[in-house]
Amino acid sequence: MEAIQVDESVRGQAEILQHISAYVTSMALKCAVDLRIADIIHSHGGGPITLSQIASAITGSSCLNVSYLARIMRLLVYKNIFTAHHPSDGGETLYGLTSSSKWILWDSKPSLAPYLVLQNEQSTIASLLCLSQCVKDGGLGFDKVHGCKIWEFTSANPEFNKLFNDAMSSSADILMGVFLPAYKDGFSGIRSLVDVGGGIGTTLSEIVKSHPHIRGINFDLPHVIATAPFNERVTHIGGDMLEAVPTGDAILLKAVLHIWTDEVCIKILSNCRKAIPEDSGKIIILDVVLELQDNNIFEESRIALDLGMMMFTGGKERTEAEWKNVLKKGGFPRYRITKLAAKESIIEAFPK
């Protein structure tokens, strides 16, 4: 077919149409994750396999709609999530994995599957649908939809609590893969490390595994600690970081400060400063540092995450200048940022 010439205006129209349909791609991706399509292909040695083979491996259906499945796969192939090979003899199309598909596997780590499920969950989407209402009236989308704060909601809903904690653990798995090799020397001299807002302790378990001289203290809300798996090298403590945090040689804050406003961050940082030695102590923050340049492959997801924080918890993603400001006011005048091949960076901050 001959390509038609388009002017800037038509290009603009096409771009807006792409943005409008971006959520459909996200839903198709969620469908692939729900039906474990990448795992099915992976379990056949990575494929490629036919749609009939994929269909026969999908469990829990007595009347699977294969033509729906074919159309969903067409979109995901178009978006390079899967490959499609059309045999020249007219045989069935064969579907294979791409470098993206490995990130939506359930049966292999690290994986974005649990994070994708949380992001495409009804209550998450409903919160983001409140953006314009919140711009006009203030408040948080999550609170408007659920009538309570997110941590009250996770506490009252074990299912959502699990969804949330699994998503956080999966993102911890991913980050540890790049953080631990980059931060080998950073743990020397640290005998006790407190993970403030450490969830169910996934991050700390990985750290103590690769640094056996460290004693881990995982600190989070009591209802989260109640579901944390046992680890003989990690002590789990329930409490409220706005009140006080356990003492240690150093404190880790992974994806924690971005859930709070500047004012609350400063309070938490002050509590952290009281809990570490004045001379040798440090905090290790693993969080987004916004660069606001489009040449970083993670930047779009960082800026989008900022809107998520705005609607879910009232937090924000920060530029280096914004980090410098909260760190200084929280009692950490000196800091050092190390960039990683990840959405997050390492920010070490020192009381002196």
User: Do the Cβ atoms of 286 and 175 come closer than 8 Å?
Assistant: yes
User: Do the Cβ atoms of 131 and 195 come closer than 8 Å?
Assistant: no
CB of 272 to ligand SAM, least distance (A): 12
CB of 181 to ligand SAM, least distance (A): 18
316 binds ligand SAM (CB under 6 A): no
114 binds ligand SAM (CB under 6 A): no
Number of residues that bind ligand SAM (CB under 6 A): 18
User: Do the Cβ atoms of 245 and 239 come closer than 8 Å?
Assistant: yes
Query: Which of residues 94 and 151 has its CB atom nearest to ligand SAM in the complex?
Result: 151
Query: Which of residues 79 and 209 has its CB atom nearest to ligand SAM in the complex?
Result: 209
User: Do the Cβ atoms of 339 and 291 come closer than 8 Å?
Assistant: no
Name the residue with the smallest CB distance to ligand SAM.
197
3-state helix, strand, coil in the chain (%, to 5): 50, 15, 35
221 binds ligand SAM (CB under 6 A): yes
CA distance 275 to 281: 9
Residue 348 burial (10 A CB sphere; 0-12, 13-18, 19+): middle
Q: Binding marks (x or -) toward ligand SAM, 176..205, rule CB under 6 A?
A: ---------------------xxx--xx--
Residues 246-305 that bind ligand SAM (CB under 6 A): 254-256, 259
Beta strand 250-254 with 192-196: parallel, antiparallel or unpaired? parallel
Q: Binding marks (x or -) toward ligand SAM, 159..178, rule CB under 6 A?
A: ---------x---x------
CA distance 42 to 107: 9
User: Do the Cβ atoms of 170 and 112 come closer than 8 Å?
Assistant: yes
44 in active site: no
Catalytic residues: 258
Contacts with ligand SAM, residue ranges (CB under 6 A): 151, 168, 172, 197-199, 202-203, 220-221, 224, 240-242, 254-256, 259
